[in-house]
Chain A
């Protein structure tokens, strides 16, 4: 019995002389939403195209619920749904006709496929557009159509690729809620974005990719924790009394030597410094850091580019 997961194992892919992915590995466990964050061109969509079986990897493999997309593609594809960033269809067809065509690959016959199409398209807000040509659909409608098609067999794993791009607030809320609902239903969900804050409130784990390389896998709590504002101080001495004193104002950690960090301070840094001085502790240097999620992300990128990661 396999766990319901999307496992990406050591995947590499090049397009000509450009290496798009280098030994990418991570896992999307069931009941979790994994955010997949990277700058544009970092390799998110390439990873996802390989994970959905539409692009063969040069190296490595993706395993969906125990089935390899390279060796057992049909079973692997059966286990995963996909809403691309820019869904492209043979758009000269009516929505219901194209749905019925694609449902054929899941074993649905003509009238049965159309009945299911009407049901799912209506469920995902396309009830009025069933007989419209796909060419007339907006980006949001195309994504909903892709979602409806991906839900033909209600797969246990789901991949949303930059799905919030180009959507109105209502559309953004719809897909975020959907990802959360999928998590509740125990699905493994991969949710890619180039904006870290987009996955906040949705993702349990975030995988960071930069220039085709995974540069970090962190829980969202850890990221939030890391992303809090902090005051960095260089003191004349650091001992238990000093740490106890600073502990009243926030989470204290010793960075190195006499350098300490007070995260998420409850008071302004001037109040903190005057309390230290009044207790006989000299403050040689003080610096306030205001870190957002994006700062956190860019910091990671910077560290990756400097070779630190």
Chain B
């Protein structure tokens, strides 16, 4: 076997290195989890579509939810819900009795009216949650119901207080002598319209006649996407499917209008059919060309939902506002977390310890023992011995980093559905692996200059300087230079930090993270220091310092190693 590969294999098959590789994979998964958790527990960027119906006479209960990430793509998570109903008449009586005089007692007694009829925790599949059951209780007409729902996804979690005065309220519909409680909700900005029986003509706004159901709608346009998304939560007593029409739009139109009243036969004169939906939750993807380049400026669009059946026709006319969303928001959130101190920062803070240990194993320890001499007595030159051990260590670093990175990215993708482009992924990976190889090269130099315990002291001190004290030193430099001067300290810290990072092998990754964000998000100005980074980060300097940090220690180490006695 080629001695490089053997040294690599030998290096890998050590318990310590196997443990390293394992420790590289586990943190990949762990860091993905930590990064996601830190997002999901801090801010809520998620959204959801809800659809719930209670048949008061039978107690049949249905709950549907579709969980969405910041890009309005389905994302998996956990839904915990409670269905509570209370006697609205009793509540009104209580309010008239106590509401104005003793608020605390009123709230206390009002909440005692709340009767939890069902509750549960459900894990979504492809972002969808469906609960169908009979809650076994018949709900009187004087009752009101609320849904208390909490969702947890990688993009946030919600908390809803279980109280008469909070939660999502069901609307009571009296249809065909039945009392139906309906809850429909799409992400804001959204509209809710009734579905009515269609008589002679369609009107906008619709003439309230015989109500047959209701629909909530949101229109989302992700900047630059070729499809807009119409999110619908629709209840219809008939249970029929509905055709969905989008009002025709002409180019350069800023205010899109339709006739106040028009004949159903003229529907396709004013509208384009964009799809068919069933009652419940639907997402219609509409080609942006149908909006005639107006999606960036038009405030709202008209939609018609139309259904025909043996019992007659039903329709609704909706004026749905556009929710314009910046593209890649979900990815940006994940990536910002990923490159933070709880993401890759943790790995690059601790993995260098393994790197310095690798150098100890490959060169510092055998050199201090004198074991390199016996190897050098084989048909091998001193330079080959030096290079073989260097290369074997680099291969271990690459293997460990690759395992970590694959585990990290796979976990993030599984948890959030977000994954970077190939180019972006390579930049981020390159930053990691080049930083660690540069540090390996530096430690290899130390291993050539010293050996045994002296190497351990020198390499640990270097690690402490480059990894732990670096930020503190930069802060102190900025503090002493700009103390009392009216400058933005954060900006100056960033400027000095990214200037001095060229002199730190472990900070090569910082530059690569900068280029990664530019590649994946388009710009880095999401940070207040983004403009400073543009000034300081120079691709030629990044390339030069990276190459120098890898090549120079290797060469300097060789100059020492070529004549050195290999017995301490």
Question: Could you say which of B2, B14, B377 contacts A104, with CB atoms under 8 Å apart?
Answer: B2
Q: Is the beta-carbon distance between A54 and B376 smaller than 8 angstroms?
A: yes
Cα A247 to Cα B378 with chains together (Å): 56
Roughly how many angstroms separate A84 CA and B6 CA in the complex, as a whole number?
Answer: 24
Q: Is the CB of B1 within 8 A of A100?
A: yes
Residue of B nearest to A113 (CB): B1
Query: Is B540 part of the contact surface with A, judged by Cβ < 8 Å?
Result: no
Q: Which A residues are CB-close (under 8 A) to B530? A: none
- What sequence of 0s and 1s flags, for each residue 1-39 of chain A, a beta carbon within 8 Å of any chain B beta carbon? 000000000000001000000000000000000000000
One digit per residue, 1 when the CB lies within 8 angstroms of any chain A CB and 0 when it does not, for chain B 352-373 equals 0000000000000010011101
Interface residues on B, range: 20 to 34
Q: Is B62's CB within 8 Å of the partner chain A? A: no
Q: Which residues of B457-475 are within 8 A (CB) of A?
A: none
Check A106 against B379 for contact (C-beta < 8 Å).
Answer: yes
B380 at the interface (CB under 8 A from A): yes
Inter-chain contacts of A102 with B (CB < 8 A) = 374-375, 378
The CA of A75 and the CA of B102, in the complex, are separated in Å by: 102
Contacts of B1 in A (CB 8 A): 100-101, 104, 109-110, 113
Once bound together, how far apart are the Cα atoms of A13 and B6, in whole Å?
34
A-B contact count, CB below 8 Å?
73
Which residue on A lies nearest to B376, using beta carbons? A54
Inter-subunit contact B374/A93 (CB<8 Å) = no
Q: Are B379 and A105 in contact (CB under 8 A)?
A: yes
Q: Which A residues from 77 to 106 make CB contacts under 8 A with B?
A: 77-78, 82, 84, 87-93, 97, 100-102, 104-106
Are A89 and B371 within 8 A (Cβ)?
A: yes
B374 touching A74, Cβ below 8 Å: no
Residues of B within 8 A of A91 (CB): 369, 371
Interface string of A49-61 (1 = CB under 8 A from B): 1001111100000
Tell me how far the C-beta of A157 lies from the nearest C-beta in chain B, rounded to whole angstroms: 12
Known: A89-B374, A104-B6, A113-B1. A77 touches B565 (CB 8 A): no
A73 at the interface (CB under 8 A from B): yes
A52 lies within 8 A of B3 (CB): no
Instruction: Given A88-B370, A90-B369, A104-B1, verify A56-B376 contact (CB < 8 Å).
Output: no
Instruction: Give residues of chain A (96-139) contacting chain B, Cβ–Cβ below 8 Å.
Output: 97, 100-102, 104-106, 109-110, 113
Contacts of A15 in B (CB 8 A): 565
Interface size in chain A (residues, C-beta < 8 A): 34
Instruction: Determine the distance from Cα of A152 to Cα of B386 in the docked complex, in whole angstroms.
Output: 23
The answer to whether A88 and B373 touch (CB under 8 A), given A101-B6, A113-B1, is: yes
The verdict on A42 contacting chain B, using a C-beta distance below 8 Å, is no
Bound together, the chains give a CA A167 to CA B562 distance in angstroms of: 34
Question: B378 and A77: CB pair below 8 A?
Answer: yes
**In the complex, B253 has a CB within 8 A of chain A:** no
Instruction: Give the CA-CA distance A141 to B376 in the complex, in Å.
Output: 21
What residues on A are CB-neighbors of B563 within 8 Å? 56
**Chain B residue at minimum C-beta to C-beta distance from A152:** B378
Q: Judge whether B10 and A93 touch: CB under 8 Å.
A: yes
Question: Is B381 engaged at the interface, CB distance under 8 Å to the other chain?
Answer: yes
B-side contacts of A82, CB under 8 Å: 377
**Which of A53, A87, A101 meets B3, CB within 8 Å?**
A101
Q: Flag whether A146 is at the interface (Cβ < 8 A).
A: yes
Inter-chain contact B374/A77, CB cutoff 8 Å: no
A53 to B7, CA, bound (A): 21
Contact present for A73 and B374 (CB under 8 Å): no
Could you mark each residue 367-401 of chain B with 1 if its beta carbon is under 8 Å from any beta carbon of chain A, else 0?
00111011111111110000000000000000000
Which of chain B's residues have a CB closer than 8 A to the CB of A113? 1
* B566 contacts partner chain A, Cβ-Cβ < 8 Å: yes
In the complex, the answer to whether A75 meets B373 with C-beta atoms within 8 Å is no
Q: Which residues of A contact B566 (CB under 8 A)?
A: 54-55
Q: Would you give the shortest CB distance from B19 to chain A, in whole angstroms? A: 15
CA distance A101 to B380 in the complex (A): 13
Q: Are A84 and B374 in contact (CB under 8 A)?
A: yes
In the complex, the chain B residue whose C-beta lies closest to that of A159 is B377
> Within 8 Å CB of B375, what residues of A?
102, 105
Given contact pairs A54-B373, A56-B382, A149-B374, a sample of 4 additional A-B residue pairs in the complex whose CB atoms are under 8 Å apart: A74-B380, A78-B379, A89-B371, A92-B14
- 11 CB < 8 A contacts A-B: A15-B565, A54-B566, A56-B382, A82-B377, A84-B373, A89-B374, A100-B6, A104-B6, A105-B378, A105-B379, A149-B374
Interface residues of A (CB under 8 A from B): 15, 49, 52-56, 73-75, 77-78, 82, 84, 87-93, 97, 100-102, 104-106, 109-110, 113, 146, 149-150
Give the 8 A-B residue pairs with the shortest CB-CB distance, closest first: A105-B378, A88-B370, A54-B373, A78-B379, A104-B3, A54-B376, A74-B379, A77-B379
